[in-house]
Structure 1
Amino acid sequence: MPFVRIDLVEGRTLEQIHTIADAVQECMEEVFAAPPRDRYQVVTEHKPGRIILEDTGLGLERTDGVVVISVLQQGRSAEQKQALYAALAERLELKAGVRPEDLMVNVSENTRADWSFGMGRAQFLTGEL
């Protein structure tokens, strides 16, 4: 059950934003084996200049087309994470025109006890999920 935050600079159309979100979900299903309809995404648009991504000495030239994807998940291997980074770069460039240089992805882990899907219950712990 990946939870995904997508941060980008404002100026894209709603259709472009949905294309990005859909491409991310496709990668979650294909690479992280997320079930269909197991989709939890928050998209946040920022004014120009509000996302600052330097290149850490890698020589990346960023534009205002930057997209930051943060994934909170459980139990994926280093190989799956690397496959996700590659799939996202390829898919977002192909479907949404996001330059690989403008994509930054981070993946963090948590536990089953860290989730409540509503109703004030920890559904993974109560056996509802």
Structure 2
Amino acid sequence: MPLLHFHVVEGRSDIEVKAMLDAAHEAMLEIFDVPRGDRYQIVSEHKKTHLIVEDTGLNIPRTDKVLVLQMFSRPRGEEKNAAFYRRLTERLQEECNMMPSDVMVSVVENEDSHWSFGHGRAQFLTGEL
């Protein structure tokens, strides 16, 4: 946890997808200080016509390598979230040659009772986590 859901235009190779997931996980480890094995990632590929990411009037250029990342997480705070956005784009640029302008992140915060990691239990509430 957090759960990261990557939305990308179809066409990336398996190697490119793995590099993207690894870069995002490393950024999450650095900023949120979660355990290395705490990794939950989903990739959804979309036709180019099915993923529209406009710039909200900010003049942010986008390419076919655009990434919309939805992060579902317990509250992390404004400073941590902002640091994650910066580190994520740095790592994606360094390791995947992705432009920071192609990375959009949306954080969906939830509470401990909103998580079950298996066995029908809410592990944050039972004390297992």
* Shared fold, TM over 0.5: yes
Which one-letter code corresponds to 1:109 in the other structure? E
**Identical-pair percentage:** 47
Provide the secondary structure at the position in 2 that maps to 1:86. helix
Which one-letter code corresponds to 1:51 in the other structure? L
Counterpart CA distance in 1 for 2:6 and 2:34 is: 17
1:47 offset after TM fit, Å?
1.2
Which one-letter code corresponds to 1:76 in the other structure? R
Provide the secondary structure at the position in 1 that maps to 2:5. strand
Counterpart of 1:27 in structure 2 is 27
1:101 offset after TM fit, Å?
1.1
- 1:85 and 2:85 are equivalent in the alignment: yes
Provide the secondary structure at the position in 1 that maps to 2:49. coil
Which one-letter code corresponds to 1:117 in the other structure? F
Counterpart CA distance in 2 for 1:98 and 1:23 is: 11
Counterpart of 2:15 in structure 1 is 15
1:21 offset after TM fit, Å?
0.2
1:50 offset after TM fit, Å?
1.0
Counterpart of 1:108 in structure 2 is 108
Counterpart CA distance in 1 for 2:86 and 2:128 is: 34
Query: What are the ranges of 5 or more consecutive residues in structure 1 without an aligned counterpart?
Result: none
Counterpart CA distance in 2 for 1:75 and 1:92 is: 24
1:61 offset after TM fit, Å?
1.6
1:73/1:107 contact within 8 Å kept: yes
Which 4+ residue blocks in structure 1 deviate beyond 3 angstroms? none
**TM-score with structure 2 length normalisation?**
0.96
1:6/1:69 contact within 8 Å kept: yes
Which one-letter code corresponds to 2:63 in the other structure? T
1:75 offset after TM fit, Å?
2.8
Counterpart of 1:69 in structure 2 is 69
| Aligned CA-pair RMSD | 0.9
